[in-house]
Structure 1
């Protein structure tokens, strides 16, 4: 089992979805990633920041996942908050109604204690300058970075600098096209590889995911679910499944990277079936393996 350190946002979300309104639920990229990764029996050292208003029950929840929370700083002020809405037939895209950065605005991550020198470092969706800073100080076997279109649009040079320091980039198809100017995702992925990361993973929502490396181009479909309740954090849950499988198996081979993408897909599919982390926090390894076998049967012919 490999050690994992993860850096990202921790927040309190208000979600408006077709089934109702849910206020102050646990959110943030780090929450979804750690929940997903923990399902693989992988303990994660968390690095994040919250305000004085952050409920103790959520810190207890992280501890129940066997996560190390020493790297979560509690600062004067309020916790990062996000309000988003999803409407019927457009569940793949959130409408942001309100964002309050609060203590997250001055977040300056440091790797200390158990979070230093992990085998795998996950740089969640934060400013690329911070991602670069952390990546330059760590000596991980594998550094994985997640980003978003905001950073491509307003801090592209900083993001390009960060890409030179990582091994794996995870982002979605829209972001791949914006960053490279290429419509074809295979061409886009190969272009991104020239910028630094050896492995590029392009998330495609309900259409699955694509992995592009020096020795592989691999496309998997999404796992179909009966109902999408809340897509918030699905990409972070994907990343948690991807990293969780690699950390559990200590194997970066071509075949195992493919499996990791499939497990990422599966964890994303669990995530969308409940509000916030409600569904994914309750599943066990048996359910994950059952869905993995269902997926294999679905794609085998």
Structure 2
């Protein structure tokens, strides 16, 4: 990608460790289920999107907080291996967050999350140097005050901004999020989050409500049904790709975000960018 700025995308949000275990069936109370496979690695939306962007051939950096511990080292090692700019990482003496993900033979998922220091990233810890050399900022599932500071800094340096609110922030509702939404260019959220934010069960109406506040593009991710886009350029539903076998849906939304952001930076129109994003999400769930 040709640009006077050296970083294509910076992500702002959570850096965690994902611990995945695969079982045949989820156990009931006072029962045990043997673990068939297990793995662990860096996770959290900021990490996932930063790595996803790198794997799609663009440059990326991350702004997040981790602990000075073994889990923090896992995050650093993986980001270093993937070539993500880490100058925006902040280190705490407290613990790095983690998520335990259980997956059964049907592909169903249960998750147990501990945020650790991930949510303690303060507004004053946003790395201005990194922001100044980037083209686009993606914010995911991060507290409002730090998100607002990040957006304001991004706009000062001419970045476009995308935002994935996550479940917790979406439940605050549209009124509580208006100051942030007014400054956002692109909102990506799932159907439940769109309802949480607007009170509208119809995702087409929910997306219009969100866009009326300020964002130019609102994308509602619909899982196996694809995605719904609301924008001036294109409005409509785009079907998902069919896959032979679903292995793990964890991180599919982050893969979608990576694909959409990179394709938009490459000059794709919105419809083609969403098709590309659907493809990256489909590939993610097969691995």
| TM above 0.5 | yes
Which structure: greater strand fraction? 2
Equivalent pair of 2:107/2:247 in contact (CA under 8 Å):
no
Label 1:17 to 1:221 Cα distance change in 2 as closer, same or farther (>3 A): farther
Of residues 269, 272, 293, the one that matches 2:282 is: 269
SS in 2 for 1:41: coil
Number of the residue aligned with 2:27: none
- Alpha-carbon distance, 1:51 to partner: 1.2
RMSD of Structure 2 on Structure 1 (CA):
2.2
In 1: Cα distance, 2:73 partner to 2:107 partner: 34
In 2: Cα distance, 1:230 partner to 1:240 partner: 17
Of residues 21, 30, 40, the one that matches 2:56 is: 40
Number of the residue aligned with 2:101: 84
Equivalent pair of 2:190/2:221 in contact (CA under 8 Å):
yes
In 1: Cα distance, 2:211 partner to 2:161 partner: 14
Number of the residue aligned with 1:96: 111
Number of the residue aligned with 2:142: 126
Label 1:157 to 1:83 Cα distance change in 2 as closer, same or farther (>3 A): farther
Of residues 116, 130, 151, the one that matches 1:135 is: 151
Equivalent pair of 1:33/1:236 in contact (CA under 8 Å):
yes
Q: Which moved more, 1:116-125 or 1:148-157?
A: 148-157
- Alpha-carbon distance, 1:47 to partner: 0.7
Q: Which moved more, 1:13-22 or 1:123-132?
A: 13-22
Equivalent pair of 1:128/1:155 in contact (CA under 8 Å):
no
Label 1:158 to 1:84 Cα distance change in 2 as closer, same or farther (>3 A): farther
- Structure 1 segment 1-301 matched on structure 2, within 5 A: 1=1, 3-18=8-23, 20-22=36-38, 24-53=40-69, 54=71, 56=73, 58-89=75-106, 91=108, 94-97=109-112, 99-108=113-122, 109-116=125-132, 118-139=134-155, 140-154=158-172, 157-247=175-265, 249=266, 251=267, 256-274=269-287
- Alpha-carbon distance, 1:135 to partner: 0.3
Q: Which has the higher contact order (CA 8 A, sep 6+)?
A: 1
Structure 1 unmatched runs, 5+: 275-301
SS in 2 for 1:138: helix
Structure 2 unmatched runs, 5+: 25-35
User: What are the superposed Cα offsets for residues 48-71 of structure 1, whole Å, 9 maximum, x if unpaired?
Assistant: 111122354542432333321111
In 1: Cα distance, 2:141 partner to 2:77 partner: 23
In 2: Cα distance, 1:152 partner to 1:57 partner: 29
- Alpha-carbon distance, 1:154 to partner: 4.0
**Matched pairs, number:** 266
